[in-house]
Amino acid sequence: MKALLEKSEKEAQLDEWGTMRPSLIPLQVASNIFPKIYPRFIEIIQIIGASGLVTLPTEKDFESDIRDVLYQYLQGANKHAIDRVKLFRLAWDLTMSSFGTRQTQYERYFFGDPIRLSSILYKTFPKENYVNQVQNFLDLHPS
């Protein structure tokens, strides 16, 4: 995504009104890719979090009679139990809460209908040079 942004900036040109405009093709590619990879990012966090995302204690649990058990069994290799639970709660909010699942759905459709976006990219992408290269190769290597 960063490379596409940098490419659009590097290939920016002045338009007919003297306004610098980024190259559209890299941005169209990004808007086609991001809705597909965002859900995968969420899935990776869920896989890494595993069952640690399912049974998260509350702050009150750390103030209850079971706090010593929580401190012992929820600590990480280099994190105290409370810090680890905070991290897992953040991951849960992002991936499994009503906010997180709505956000995933939002990211899928933020740029518009994915089929229409793919169609626009296909129709506007400058394919001529690539088609010519293939045709030249075929002309040089007859069957």
Instruction: Summarize pLDDT for 85-138 with one digit per residue, the tens.
Output: 999 999 999 999 999 999 999 999 999 999 999 999 999 999 999 999 999 999
What pLDDT is attached to residue 141?
A: 84
Q: Both ends of the chain: CA-CA distance in Å?
A: 40
Has residue 143 got a pLDDT over 90? no
What pLDDT is attached to residue 30?
A: 95
Number of alpha carbons in the 13 Å side-chain half-sphere of residue 127: 8
Residues 6 or more apart in contact with residue 126 via CB below 8 angstroms = 25
What pLDDT is attached to residue 45?
A: 97
54-68 pLDDT, tens digit per residue, is: 889 999 999 999 999
Has residue 26 got a pLDDT over 90? yes
Q: Enumerate the domain spans of the chain.
A: 2-55+96-140
What pLDDT is attached to residue 142?
A: 80
What pLDDT is attached to residue 77?
A: 92
What is the dotted CATH code of the domain comprising 2-55+96-140? Answer: 1.20.140.10
Is the distance from CB of 73 to CB of 79 less than 8 angstroms?
no
What is the pTM (predicted TM-score) of this model? 0.75
